[in-house]
């Protein structure tokens, strides 16, 4: 059975003290929940060490970075490598988030390199794909998703691809309060799984974890997670409130 995961993407929010306080609140809430729910917390880079230390030893809970650079090391002022991230105790890295694609013009080619850097450093990439509102309105959502897979992660061989997690995040639903309807999420998740089956094989398609992201909250998480091809969520806004994120986490159980 494939792994179900709930992940919180804190984005560029909070000061150090606020981040520590949220982590400690989450820790207390998680202690009251079943330990079987795999949970990922993605704080900003400067807090990775501390937040990883905070959750150390807590079964099923791990920490992710929100991005990594596509080169191993060198003269890239201000950038952060996958090796650095791994050395903080983080175990995953979000790659290809639509905000990175949009505001930092990250290309498929760069994203593939980032995935390779992550894997070379024993970080699990959480690779994001998703169409914009214009693409959906033009009926080009399937085509967009296929292209995002083809230009990056479908270059991996099957054994390598089996190490990644995918996240479908329709850009029109991120931070907008417009969630994909469960049928819309299911339709795309099934398409992604089918595409993996065609590119690789049915067993790999079946074992790939595909998360949904985009205005997932305490009111809609149950319905979204009930879709057969939705294996959990990548949560932005609602992950900044401990009680909400813990409730969403519980909805996955």
Tell me, yes or no, if 97 is annotated catalytic: yes
Angle between helices 108-120 and 141-151 (to 10 degrees): 50
Nearer to ligand PGA, 6 or 205 (CB): 6
Nearer to ligand PGA, 192 or 205 (CB): 192
Q: How far apart are CA 230 and CA 75, in angstroms?
A: 40
Closest distance to ligand PGA from the beta carbon of 127 (Å): 12
Closest distance to ligand PGA from the beta carbon of 238 (Å): 6
Q: Which residues bind ligand PGA (CB under 6 A)?
A: 9, 169, 174-175, 213-216, 234-238
Nearer to ligand PGA, 188 or 205 (CB): 188
Closest distance to ligand PGA from the beta carbon of 239 (Å): 7
Report the residue number whose CB is nearest to ligand PGA: 236
Across-strand partners of 128?
Answer: 167
Contacts 24+ apart (CB under 8 A), 119-123: 119/160, 119/163, 119/164, 120/72, 120/82, 121/81, 121/82, 121/83, 121/85, 121/86, 122/86, 122/91, 123/65, 123/68, 123/82, 123/85, 123/86, 123/90, 123/91, 123/92, 123/93
- CB burial of residue 90 (10 Å; 0-12, 13-18, 19+): buried
Task: Catalytic residue, from 99, 106, 131, 169: name it.
Answer: 169
Nearest to 122 by CA among 151, 160, 156: 160
Task: Catalytic residue, from 97, 106, 141, 189: name it.
Answer: 97
Tell me, yes or no, if 70 is annotated catalytic: no
175 within 8 A of 237, measured Cβ to Cβ = yes
Closest distance to ligand PGA from the beta carbon of 201 (Å): 29
Closest distance to ligand PGA from the beta carbon of 220 (Å): 11
* Strand spans (E) along 10-89: 38-42, 61-65
Nearer to ligand PGA, 205 or 214 (CB): 214
Nearer to ligand PGA, 179 or 205 (CB): 179
Q: Which residues are known catalytic residues?
A: 97, 169
């Amino acid at each position: 059975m494939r792994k179900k995961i709930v992940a919180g993407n804190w984005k560029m929010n909070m000061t150090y003290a606020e981040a520590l306080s949220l982590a400690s609140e989450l820790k207390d809430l998680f202690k009251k929940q079943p330990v079987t729910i795999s949970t990922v917390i993605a704080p900003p880079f400067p807090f990775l060490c501390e937040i990883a230390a905070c959750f150390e030893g807590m079964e099923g809970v791990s920490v992710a970075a929100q991005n990594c650079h596509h080169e191993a090391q060198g003269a890239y002022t201000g950038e952060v490598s996958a090796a650095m991230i791994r050395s903080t105790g983080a175990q995953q890295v979000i790659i290809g988030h639509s905000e990175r694609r949009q505001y930092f013009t990250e290309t498929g080619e760069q994203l593939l390199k980032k995935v390779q850097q992550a894997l070379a450093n024993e970080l699990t990439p959480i690779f994001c794909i998703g169409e914009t509102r214009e693409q959906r309105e033009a009926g080009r959502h399937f085509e967009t998703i296929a292209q995002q897979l083809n230009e990056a992660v479908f270059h991996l061989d099957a054994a390598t691809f089996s190490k990644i997690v995918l996240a479908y995040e329709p850009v029109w639903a991120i931070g907008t309060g417009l969630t994909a309807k469960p049928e819309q999420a299911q339709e795309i998740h099934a398409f992604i799984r089918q595409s993996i089956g065609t590119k690789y094989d049915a067993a790999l398609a079946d074992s790939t974890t595909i998360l949904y992201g985009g205005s997932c909250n305490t009111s809609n998480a149950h319905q979204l997670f009930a879709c057969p091809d939705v294996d959990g969520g990548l949560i932005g806004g609602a992950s900044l409130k401990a009680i909400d994120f813990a409730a969403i986490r519980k909805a996955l159980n």
